[in-house]
Structure 1
Amino acid sequence: MAEQEYSVDFSKIAEKLVKNKKVIFFVLLALVLLFSAWVRLIPADQYYLSAMDPYWHYRHSAEIVDHGYPGTELREIDGKMVPWDSFHNAPYGGEASKEFYQYFTAYSYMYLGKFLVADLMTWTKLTPVFFGVLSVLFMYLLVAQLFGRGAGLGAAFMFSIAPSFLMRSVAGFADTDAPIAFFTILSFYLFLLAWDRESYLWGASAGLSMGLFAFTWGGYRFAPLFITAAVGFHLVSKITLAYVRKKNIIDELKTHRKKYTVFAVFLLSMFIFVTLFKGIELAKFWSATRVFSSLKEMQRESLDTGVRNVFLTVSEMSPGSLVEIVSRVHIISVFLFFGFLALLPFGLWKKLSGKFFHLSFFTIWLAATFYSSFTAVRFIEMFAIPLAIFSGIVIAEMISKISSKKPAISIFIVVTLIALIFFVPNYNLSGPSYFQTSISIASQSGPGVSGPWLDFYDWVKTETPKGAIFASWWDPGHALTALGERPAVADGSQNDEHVHDLALMFTSTDMDTSLSLMKEYNISYFFTSSDLLPKYSAISFLAGEPDYYPQVPLSQTSQQGDTVVLEYKLSQTEAVYVSLTGPFASATLQSGYNTVPIQRIIVFSSGQPVKFETEAENAVDYMIYVLPDYQSVFLLPPRLENNLLTRLHLFSGADVDGLEFVKDFGGTIKVFKVK
């Protein structure tokens, strides 16, 4: 029997694909989504979460899985049983927060995740990837329905690797940033769908999305504010045009009556759902009209309680500069936005002429988030969303110009787009390209806790009494309560007297003051860590007297006979010299042609600190603390030498009555028991 030959006619397949462009777009969309998932999964092989705040959500998710509600117990408050969190805000505790992200993580794990992954930590680590990819999908749907599938694909791809969004949606960064982006895009997509189709059902769906958005983040109110501003602009423009064209204004508005009714349905449903999820106060979205003044309020120096505002020391709440904003969103996305403006008079405006409402909406969104980014850098992430939309429109417009009849122009367009995305560096001409930035961000994302910190949290959980209250600065609080399972005086969810009093403990040179505050908070263990030294400017600011630890790197080493001389340059004319002669050490300060001895110096010998003092009358009242590797020194005036942080972390608690040194974790963390 003759062997039958089979062949594939690729020309016919290509012909069918060209005729059915939908298939091509769906394939390309699938590739964008797969790539979006892949790049976010790059750090997935690391077990622990990639920052401190995600442990807040992980702990509450674990509590929901364990006993059905966030918090450590149920407590009767005003006749109602309320979930109470005794780990937060110790020793008093507080009502446990209820947030969508925690419930989503817990229930999705119970009904799906536990069959796919080893434990809740692994599942929690993957949730930002899920919301990140969903955000990209709805970015496509949003832009495609308004400006075409090509623009949708371009916007989806640009947003999938937008640096400011990617860094907050990679595996491990299990904070609310990815869900916030998702509900922002979803809510706008549903509302614009309702507006265009004049559908009450879609309007109510947008209201439900806003309700879930509010359940996720209290700052959701900017979204309905943008929608209201766009609808108001639409109303004013129609009235103005009717007046200019001498038409009956009432008749003109009646033609859009159903759209305005859809807007009313959206507002009403949103108010109902937000009230159901979070209460009537959060449903009053119009308070967002004070959004910019409230941002300034968050950045004012003192709170109503009279203590310094902790937000002034949080990096993401610090004001942004133009250079920082451009750097974080990448110069290419800014360039493409200006490309959008440049293309308007060359046919693009004609193509978009029927999309005036949508463009005004996105322009309001872009302008408001751009302005907000100058107030607080965390809003740069929101600014990246409308930038991706405008970028997608430009990319689609450029690709539409490709034609076999114009090969030179077509090649130029293709080369330009490839160069912009894959090769052009950031604004400083030394940073990576837009694409390479995303790969670098994902590759460099690492666990928020490792090494000595993991050993410390394990020791806290297994070697200390349950209910023992721990205190340090607020940064490790969430990880301590989640991994160590012990109450913390402060964590990343506070802006009150707790943080202020911790600052006083660390900065005080009066040990009685520090110990009295520890007793007031019923602290069992107090710990310090090496990262608190560079953070001392923030700690001391909140205590009321801004200060810092001057650290000077080693400039050079020389040999003078039997003495090794280490030079630590303060400036061109000033330097500290440390002289090591056998087992002895001394330090001098040279300023110009004058040299004076420094009264005290600590050096390390066989891993142990050794203190030397000079009796010279002209000695400067400072201490030079030489780090064990001799690569840098701290210059400690008496106010730093004698504060609690120095005495505990650098001197290991020597001569501090009332505190007992318990354990040292690799020199990084030192733990003391309050007697």
Structure 2
Amino acid sequence: MQKWLMKFDVKRFVNEYWDLAILLLIVYIGFYIRSIYVPDIVADYDPWWYYRHSVTVLKYWFNMPKWDILSFYPPGRPYEVHLGVEYTLAIFYKIISNFVKMTFMQFFIIAPAIISGLSAIPAYIATRYLTKSKIAGLFSAFFAVLAPSFIGYSVAGYMDSKAFVVFYSFLAIFSLMFAMKRKDWIGYLTAIIVNLLFIYTWSGGGWYPLIAFLFFIPAVLIFRIFEDIIHNRSLKVNFKPLIEEAKSLVIPFLIIIITINVITQIWLKENILNSILAALGFAGFAPTLLVNISVAELQSINIFSLEGFQRVAGSVGFLPTVLTLFGLPVLILFKIWRKEKIAFEEIFLFLFALVTFYMILHGVRFALIFSVATSLSAGYVIGNFYNYLKSYKNQFLIAIFFGIILFYSLDLFSKAYVFGEQYSRGYGIDENWRNALDWLKQHGNTTTLVATWWDPGHIIAGYTGLKVHADGAHCGPGVCIPYDHNIRIQDMGRIFSTSNEEEAYNILKKYTYLTKEQCDEIKKKYDDMIYDNILKEDPCKTNITKIYFIASNDLIGKYYWLTYFGTGTGRQYVVLPLTGRDNQGNLVYGNGILTLAFKDDKIIPILNIPSQGIFNMVVRKLVFVYQGNQLTFDYSNATNKIDGLVFSDGSTAIYMDPQTANSMFTRLYFFNGEGLKYFKLVYSNPEVKIFEVDF
């Protein structure tokens, strides 16, 4: 041992492996940024889906139930087959729990921070492999873990597929490049295994690196023709080297993609075409779920406007965005000018960045994939420009170049820290919701159905173990029978927005049973798999004896979409914060839009919207909450009046048009179901109100 230590060359070791020390630091930074605040319970909506299914994996392992009876009941839905996230978490928990005493929930909560930090490793490997530059690899790893869009989906407590998506994105791209260059069974096997794991982990989306390469190969040939014309300054193209290069790319790719498709068709009953069709749906070129219209992350943005560009740059980082969109094209043009052959990985990175940037037109959700492209491209640009500057042996230019890079990198780190703290504290389930969920868990059983807008479905099923009417794991036509997501979202929107209690009651009642014809249709498609569920029930023998219906304050802001899906016309509550008092001491809301004037023993709501021709008009009805009591004022006899209702607790005033004021949601949430025949208030707190529907 002593002799080995004497022979150990510290200087050589540091020179060869300094990058690994920095890489480990980046891994830790990625973890630390996401674990500034660690909640004591799983956060937000989607993570509860993954938690519930991970717990099921821990219980059943490789004998998983085939029917998910808690989701989209009645009758439930086929169990998700893409369980890469769940099996990975279950396996690592079993290993870690042998050394560290912790519950699965504790492990699940911290897991996204760990996986996100580890994503720096495949980012480093991919970029270093492409550039042969340690510096390029380190910058890619740094940019990857600090992308704000990535942090937003991977803080402690928020465990869904996103952390794995980023990890496998880098690994899959590396594996394909690795296979293309090696052209042997080691390369092919690596690419096949990695991409199969990605597909198994991310339903539908795990195919995207293969789809990218599918379109990239013909693009390389087109680019080579263009490159040949520029270099030779002639329209005469030599196709022989193009054909040779095409063969060198096509043959390895065909081996990989055909093998993967055969395996997935047998194993998961899917192929690359399914993913392409799904992608076209998200891009608006094919039918998609109705609910996607209302998903904020899928709203179109103009990426070519200054505001749109700033929003995108804010999602992935200003420096990686600029280096990708401007630095990479400059690098390629510079190489063309020097008559250097553009490497096929440079063409891939350019097209990958271009396509993912364009994808953001269809929603900022795609910024996560764009962050992968920018991390790779930005590291690649830095590594190449550093090599060029080094060849000129100009230390001053190198110092300026890295000074700028380090300045904006520190700025990214600073913003990432702020994002990490904000996001980690913003996803938690607050005390009011937890108390409501505890009440449901205590009072519900296997014959209970919980119904509300689809958003909290995952939380309700995961936390309480009760059946839910709908959730965020959208179940499209032909999958959920007889009521798919489109039907359920329209039904629920109608229940909340109608003023007819009988109509709302009858819509809910149809979810307490299935007709013989409906059961026959379900069995025809799914046969005996419907009986393989955790409750060992026959879903066709629906035994719902109780429906708990939830009206919660988050639906005030979402009410536009409830009415849009329920009636075809979006309406909304006009929420006005208290902004001060006028000279007479009257309460002023929304900077003068609404004034609550005190006169004698009355409070008069006065509306002013000059742009709509509304001047000092008295709103017909006001409900003012004072010391827990609702004081009602009716001004139907006022001469200068506008129909509607103002509901105020002093700090906030909410204006409702007549249709909104008479809606079931208003009657349930704001007036506790007073005067309703079928909806009985059984639990209430400042955010959540639960009604038992009387059948």
- TM-score of the two chains, using structure 1 as the length reference: 0.85
Look up the match of 1:587: 605
What SS is found at the alignment partner of 2:499? coil
**Pair 1:434-2:422 in alignment:** no
Look up the match of 2:343: 356
Instruction: Note the 1:148-167 alignment, pairs <5 A.
Output: 148=132, 149-167=134-152
What SS is found at the alignment partner of 1:524? strand
Deviates further, 589-598 or 168-177: 589-598
Look up the match of 1:132: 116
Contact 1:621 1:638 in 2 (8 A): no
How far, CA to CA, are the matches of 1:142 and 1:231 in structure 2?
19
Contact 1:556 1:567 in 2 (8 A): yes
Paired AA for residue 489 in structure 2: V
Which of 398, 401, 406 aligns to 1:413? It is 401
How far, CA to CA, are the matches of 1:162 and 1:176 in structure 2?
16
Shift of 1:482: 0.4
How far, CA to CA, are the matches of 2:32 and 2:608 in structure 1?
56
Paired AA for residue 671 in structure 2: F
Shift of 1:590: 5.3
Look up the match of 2:471: 491
What SS is found at the alignment partner of 1:521? helix
Contact 1:230 1:357 in 2 (8 A): no
Contact 1:557 1:565 in 2 (8 A): yes
Shift of 1:176: 0.8
**Pair 1:284-2:272 in alignment:** yes
Contact 1:598 1:622 in 2 (8 A): yes
Look up the match of 2:157: 172
Instruction: Note the 1:643-662 alignment, pairs <5 A.
Output: 643-662=663-682
Shift of 1:477: 0.7
How far, CA to CA, are the matches of 2:605 and 2:274 in structure 1?
63
Shift of 1:94: 1.3
Instruction: Note the 1:78-97 alignment, pairs <5 A.
Output: 83-97=66-80
Q: Deviations over 1:195-214 (max 9, x none)?
A: 11122331232122222222
Shift of 1:511: 0.9
What SS is found at the alignment partner of 2:572? coil
How far, CA to CA, are the matches of 1:391 and 1:194 in structure 2?
23
Look up the match of 1:32: 26
Look up the match of 1:316: 297
- Judged with a 3 Å threshold, the aligned counterparts in structure 2 of structure 1 residues 655 and 442 are, in CA distance, closer, same or farther, namely same
Shift of 1:87: 0.9
**Pair 1:332-2:313 in alignment:** no
Paired AA for residue 637 in structure 1: D
Paired AA for residue 671 in structure 1: I
How far, CA to CA, are the matches of 1:450 and 1:668 in structure 2?
10
**Pair 1:456-2:450 in alignment:** no
Look up the match of 1:263: 253
What SS is found at the alignment partner of 1:490? coil
**Pair 1:532-2:555 in alignment:** yes
Q: Deviations over 1:437-481 (max 9, x none)?
A: 211121112243121111111111123333311111111110000
Give unmatched runs, 5+ long, in structure 1.
1-7, 75-82, 304-308, 423-432
Look up the match of 2:219: 233
What SS is found at the alignment partner of 2:557? coil
Give unmatched runs, 5+ long, in structure 2.
475-484, 513-545
- Judged with a 3 Å threshold, the aligned counterparts in structure 2 of structure 1 residues 222 and 411 are, in CA distance, closer, same or farther, namely closer
Contact 1:316 1:377 in 2 (8 A): yes
Look up the match of 2:501: 511
Shift of 1:376: 2.1
What SS is found at the alignment partner of 1:189? helix
**Pair 1:107-2:91 in alignment:** yes
- Judged with a 3 Å threshold, the aligned counterparts in structure 2 of structure 1 residues 30 and 556 are, in CA distance, closer, same or farther, namely closer
Contact 1:590 1:596 in 2 (8 A): yes
Contact 1:402 1:413 in 2 (8 A): no
> Which has the higher relative contact order, 1 or 2, with Cα contacts under 8 A spaced 6 or more apart?
2
How far, CA to CA, are the matches of 1:448 and 1:569 in structure 2?
29
- Judged with a 3 Å threshold, the aligned counterparts in structure 2 of structure 1 residues 650 and 619 are, in CA distance, closer, same or farther, namely farther
**Pair 1:668-2:687 in alignment:** yes
How far, CA to CA, are the matches of 1:402 and 1:252 in structure 2?
32
**Pair 1:196-2:175 in alignment:** no
How far, CA to CA, are the matches of 1:145 and 1:220 in structure 2?
22
How far, CA to CA, are the matches of 1:207 and 1:486 in structure 2?
39
**Pair 1:606-2:593 in alignment:** no
What SS is found at the alignment partner of 1:547? coil
Shift of 1:366: 1.0
Q: Deviations over 1:18-56 (max 9, x none)?
A: xx632222222222222222223323x212233210100
Contact 1:114 1:120 in 2 (8 A): no
Look up the match of 1:306: none
How far, CA to CA, are the matches of 2:217 and 2:675 in structure 1?
68
Contact 1:210 1:274 in 2 (8 A): no
RMSD: 3.2
Q: Deviations over 1:626-661 (max 9, x none)?
A: 432x12211122211110110011011111111111
How far, CA to CA, are the matches of 2:101 and 2:126 in structure 1?
32
How far, CA to CA, are the matches of 1:113 and 1:159 in structure 2?
29
Instruction: Note the 1:390-405 alignment, pairs <5 A.
Output: 390-397=377-384, 399-400=386-387, 401=389
- Judged with a 3 Å threshold, the aligned counterparts in structure 2 of structure 1 residues 397 and 658 are, in CA distance, closer, same or farther, namely same
Paired AA for residue 360 in structure 1: I
Look up the match of 2:125: 141
Q: Deviations over 1:193-233 (max 9, x none)?
A: 11111223312321222222221221233321211222223
Contact 2:587 2:596 in 1 (8 A): yes
- Judged with a 3 Å threshold, the aligned counterparts in structure 2 of structure 1 residues 464 and 90 are, in CA distance, closer, same or farther, namely same
What SS is found at the alignment partner of 2:468? coil
**Pair 1:224-2:210 in alignment:** yes
Shift of 1:382: 0.6
How far, CA to CA, are the matches of 2:120 and 2:498 in structure 1?
50
How far, CA to CA, are the matches of 2:665 and 2:257 in structure 1?
52
Paired AA for residue 364 in structure 1: L
Shift of 1:508: 0.3
- Judged with a 3 Å threshold, the aligned counterparts in structure 2 of structure 1 residues 363 and 219 are, in CA distance, closer, same or farther, namely same
Contact 1:144 1:151 in 2 (8 A): yes
How far, CA to CA, are the matches of 2:456 and 2:149 in structure 1?
24
Shift of 1:14: 7.8
Q: Deviations over 1:336-364 (max 9, x none)?
A: 232343355667986x9455211111112
Contact 2:621 2:636 in 1 (8 A): no
**Pair 1:295-2:283 in alignment:** yes
